Structure 1
Amino acid sequence: MSKENTVLLAYSGGLDTSCILKWLQEKGYDVVTFTADIGQEEDFDAARVKAEKLGAKQVVIQDLRREFCEEFISVGIQANAIYEDRYLLGTALARPCIARAMVKVAKNEGIRYISHGATGKGNDQIRFELACYALYPEVKIISPWRLPEFYTRFKGRSDLFEYAKENGIPLPITLKAPWSIDANLMHVSYESGILEDPKNKAPDTLYEMTTDPEKAPDKPEKLEIEFRTGIPIRVKNLADGTEKSDALGLYLYLNELGGRHGIGRIDIVENRFLGMKSRGIYETPAGTILREAHLDIENLTMDRELRKIKHQLSVEFSQQVYRGLWYSPECTFIRQCIEKSQEGIDGTVYCKLYKGHVYITGRESPLSLYNQELVSMDVQGEYNPEDAAGFITITALRSKSPSTYLLQERRDNTFPRENGIPTTTKTLQEQGINSNYIKLLSDIYTDNPTTVCLHKDSSIIKIKKAIRQEDTMPPKLSIACTEKIFRTIEWTKKGININ
């Protein structure tokens, strides 16, 4: 097997990557397949046999579940990682894990080419390739779904079926669901097909990992979850005493319990990195439970100002992970910051799972920053209530400043955008502006009916106050002030600004 024309293919055993395997062979490549076990329920022995029958020169299957859990999911938990406030990044966290393992194989085997089956419209091509380039700068990526000779030949699934028949590729025994599925230890995601119309309700048969919350058990599941440095190290079922302390076993157990109680279902529209919006449905039971618990223990043990900064880093981290930047310098830096922030996040959270929800019922920590005596309404302790007066006075300085007051005046007295001079003059009358000023406005602009918007600054507010107080002004000063008002009128229709 010549290493010069050998390609390492990310291989799932499905129709798409099986067709890509044969297509690469057509192009003169020797193909080594790489299959990662990251917690998806697949028959890996069947995938091996299938790849060998299709002529793969070598078949590599690796169990990455533990490192995925300990080195990627755990970081996401510490970070409270969430994209656009809803997506827990199950697929995005898996891609750098798979890419790292593939790069290691490619380097060890002296393979220069890596190929994958990600589509040309999705995020995965970006995540996968950015990780590969970061870890293996000399690598050459073959992405068939971006090559015209491939995507013009295979316009749809029916073309793949025909190609499979012609090349002796075993066809799926069962019909493929009318949507795409990506599963791993952290979640199952569904998109495309009948889900592309965002108003369509997902069929009840879609969900593989969780029970319908309405059909979940009527009795809640009570748990205690222990954290050390922000990482879950133990979970205990308070009903039957079951305990899990192994990272992988703990996560699998929470997936089981959370799935039973309908935890972690979301149906969202998200913004892909490429710029388009897509509809995705996700099931993330263990991730949802652990995020809620981690947020709670973090609030108990983390300083307020540190938490504020850490939250900002978490938002940035989540965007970086979503965009495939796990191995970038900026993401590496933020991961180190997040790890540092978790040094004191030790403690136990008590919660219950019930019909799709995680309810936190209590928490405790040897490093708790909660001072019961200080916060109590019944005990004064070292806190002097009189000190609050000075605190409020100093804090109020900003609110009492003239500029803040003036800004509020401007907001309260903003003229609406209206059509035509008659409406504008009526608005001026309602605002108490001198009738002579209004007449002057009409005289000047009657020949130019258009849409106007009057914006007022501090001098106009002063004029208005003077008018209401019936102050007198010399005629020239009145005209000058009126002109000041006119200079703030925007003639939007003709694009003329009166300055």
Structure 2
Amino acid sequence: MKKKVILAYSGGLDTTTIIPWLKNTYDYDVIAVCVDVGQGTELEGLEERALSSGASKLYIEDVTDEFVEEYVWPALKADAIYEKKYLLGTSLARPLIAKVLVKYAELEGAEAICHGATGKGNDQVRFELTIGALAPQLKIIAPWRIWDIKSREDAMDYCVMHDIKVPMSISDSYSRDKNILHMSHEGLELEDPSLEPQYKKLLQMTTPLEEAPDQAEIVSIDFEEGVPVKLNGVAMSGRELLEKLNIIGGRHSIGVVDLIENRVVGMKSRGIYETPGGSILYNAHEELEHMCLDRQTFGFKQQAAVKFAELAYNGEWFTPLREALTAFVDETQKTVTGNVQVKLYKGNIILIGVTSPYSLYNAEIASFTTGDLYDHKDAEGFIHLFGLPLKVRALMRLSREEKGE
């Protein structure tokens, strides 16, 4: 009986090429596994493509709900943004995909898992750290670190040589990743940071800014303990809410990011990210936190958010630190409940209003009008104590100057 390998299969150029390569190189029985995290129409015709490329079978598992509830929402509650711009769309999905690959490797009795991540990218790290954390006994095969294929053109030539139809052309061979949270684009003209992206050709979730409607749209979002639960007053699942917000945000050119980022492996790369619904949620969630969290908690949480984002980006999801940070974040979210209204207009998210039963904003204190809870005279003593170190330092300097030092 042939040994089996589980292939993380997307149906794109790389994984289409990998199937015949695995068979020719290892004589493996190749079992393709496509993990659905909200790719949508990308899954159409996938089974036929996998089998015609030489796979013995294809599993497709829809884990979109789990992705939203167990990965996207924890990152949202943490306000995790990598290098101030990237909402971690691909990063969050990879650990879950790897988890499902391990599941099917155990089901099929496979000895190895194969992925199509390149030797220059982040995904190889994310896949392999997760596999190592969940099933260290499994062998990992990364063709881009082994084979003689050096480019996407070489990959297309390899497919042609083996009579396999490729799913794209050279002129449109961007490296893309899509899920319910975002879509990323890399390659071709994007590799030159001096060039403006061809947005009208590139964008798939988002309307180009020049084509956004002239009429603004108001969106209302209700949160419970940091999790969005209602859109425009209608209760819905996380999946449905994010799907609808993607449509609304995409219509108004929300959430397009052009980022030159620092990859895990040490180099910089340029990516264009579309995250329309996620951008609205992150913005609204932060506004609610401004109202519901005290100064110390909000300040420390900002620091924790940076580390949380780094862990997610690096593929360190199944680690004690990430789990501990999530526990901390969940504690902070117990009072992050309320409603946020924002106005969407030509790429902008403009706050209209925030309400919460746990609001720490007190109009009687904040108002310029004197109230019972705050006396203006109290500020004098506070400023004296708060500035005491500065005053002592200045007095010491004056003393030294008088002595001629």
TM range (shorter): over 0.9
**Amino acid of the residue matched to residue 20 of structure 1?**
I
3-state DSSP of counterpart to 2:343: strand
Contact map agreement 2:11 2:167 (CA 8 A) in 1: no
Q: Where does residue 303 of structure 1 map in the other structure? A: 294
3-state DSSP of counterpart to 1:42: helix
> Distance in 2 between the 1:170 and 1:313 partners?
47
Of residues 280, 283, 291, the one that matches 2:271 is 280
> Distance in 1 between the 2:373 and 2:252 partners?
46
3-state DSSP of counterpart to 2:265: coil
Q: Where does residue 227 of structure 1 map in the other structure? A: 223
Q: Where does residue 137 of structure 1 map in the other structure? A: 136
> Distance in 2 between the 1:397 and 1:84 partners?
36
Q: Where does residue 284 of structure 2 map in the other structure? A: 293
Contact map agreement 2:77 2:330 (CA 8 A) in 1: yes
TM normalised by structure 1 equals 0.77
> Distance in 1 between the 2:144 and 2:168 partners?
25
Deviation per CA, 1:149-193, whole angstroms, max 9, x where unpaired?
x0xx21223322222122221123655515321111111111122
Shift of 1:132: 1.0
Q: Where does residue 13 of structure 1 map in the other structure? A: 11
Contact map agreement 1:398 1:404 (CA 8 A) in 2: no
Contact map agreement 2:218 2:344 (CA 8 A) in 1: yes
Q: Where does residue 96 of structure 2 map in the other structure? A: 97
**Amino acid of the residue matched to residue 180 of structure 2?**
L
Deviation per CA, 1:200-223, whole angstroms, max 9, x where unpaired?
111131111111223211111111
1:199 aligns to 2:194 (yes or no) = yes
Contact map agreement 2:336 2:358 (CA 8 A) in 1: yes
Shift of 1:246: 1.5
Shift of 1:16: 1.5
Deviation per CA, 1:250-270, whole angstroms, max 9, x where unpaired?
000000000000000111111
Q: Where does residue 355 of structure 1 map in the other structure? A: 346
> Distance in 1 between the 2:306 and 2:185 partners?
24
Q: Where does residue 421 of structure 1 map in the other structure? A: none
Q: Where does residue 212 of structure 1 map in the other structure? A: 208
1:466 aligns to 2:393 (yes or no) = no
1:28 aligns to 2:23 (yes or no) = no
Shift of 1:245: 1.6
Contact map agreement 1:178 1:194 (CA 8 A) in 2: no
Q: 1:256 to 1:344 in 2, by over 3 A?
A: same
> Distance in 1 between the 2:258 and 2:216 partners?
24
Q: Where does residue 260 of structure 1 map in the other structure? A: 251
- Mean Cα deviation higher: 346-355 or 207-216: 207-216
TM normalised by structure 2 equals 0.95
Q: 1:179 to 1:85 in 2, by over 3 A?
A: same
> Distance in 1 between the 2:361 and 2:396 partners?
37
> Distance in 2 between the 1:361 and 1:404 partners?
48
1:314 aligns to 2:305 (yes or no) = yes
Contact map agreement 1:399 1:405 (CA 8 A) in 2: no
3-state DSSP of counterpart to 1:391: helix
Contact map agreement 1:270 1:278 (CA 8 A) in 2: yes
Deviation per CA, 1:252-308, whole angstroms, max 9, x where unpaired?
000000000000011111111111111111111011100110000011111111111
Equivalence map 1:460-499=2 (5 Å): 466=404
> Distance in 2 between the 1:278 and 1:287 partners?
22
Contact map agreement 2:221 2:339 (CA 8 A) in 1: yes
Q: Where does residue 158 of structure 1 map in the other structure? A: 153
Equivalence map 1:327-406=2 (5 Å): 327-402=318-393, 406=397
Shift of 1:112: 2.5
> Distance in 2 between the 1:364 and 1:79 partners?
20
Q: Where does residue 486 of structure 1 map in the other structure? A: none
> Distance in 2 between the 1:165 and 1:215 partners?
39
Deviation per CA, 1:338-378, whole angstroms, max 9, x where unpaired?
11111111000011111101111101011111111121112
> Distance in 2 between the 1:74 and 1:111 partners?
32
Shift of 1:125: 0.5
Equivalence map 1:420-431=2 (5 Å): none
Q: 1:228 to 1:48 in 2, by over 3 A?
A: same
> Distance in 2 between the 1:354 and 1:161 partners?
42
> Distance in 2 between the 1:188 and 1:196 partners?
17
Unaligned runs of 5+ in 1: 238-242, 410-457, 468-499
Shift of 1:141: 0.5
Alignment: residue pair count? 403
Shift of 1:244: 5.0
Contact map agreement 2:16 2:166 (CA 8 A) in 1: no
Shift of 1:50: 1.7
Contact map agreement 1:10 1:115 (CA 8 A) in 2: yes
> Distance in 2 between the 1:176 and 1:250 partners?
35
Deviation per CA, 1:224-261, whole angstroms, max 9, x where unpaired?
10000101000117xxxxx3521111000000000000
Deviation per CA, 1:90-131, whole angstroms, max 9, x where unpaired?
110111111111111212222230000000001110011101
1:122 aligns to 2:60 (yes or no) = no
> Distance in 2 between the 1:315 and 1:328 partners?
16
3-state DSSP of counterpart to 2:40: coil
Contact map agreement 2:81 2:88 (CA 8 A) in 1: yes
3-state DSSP of counterpart to 1:466: coil
> Distance in 2 between the 1:210 and 1:244 partners?
25
Shift of 1:38: 1.4
Shift of 1:391: 0.6
Contact map agreement 1:7 1:29 (CA 8 A) in 2: yes
| Structure ID, larger Rg | 1
**Amino acid of the residue matched to residue 69 of structure 1?**
V
Unaligned runs of 5+ in 2: none
Contact map agreement 1:188 1:283 (CA 8 A) in 2: yes
- Mean Cα deviation higher: 43-52 or 208-217: 43-52
Q: Where does residue 39 of structure 2 map in the other structure? A: 40
Shift of 1:320: 0.8
**Amino acid of the residue matched to residue 15 of structure 1?**
L
- Structure scoring higher RCO (CA < 8 A, sep ≥ 6) equals 2
- Mean Cα deviation higher: 171-180 or 68-77: 171-180
Q: Where does residue 443 of structure 1 map in the other structure? A: none
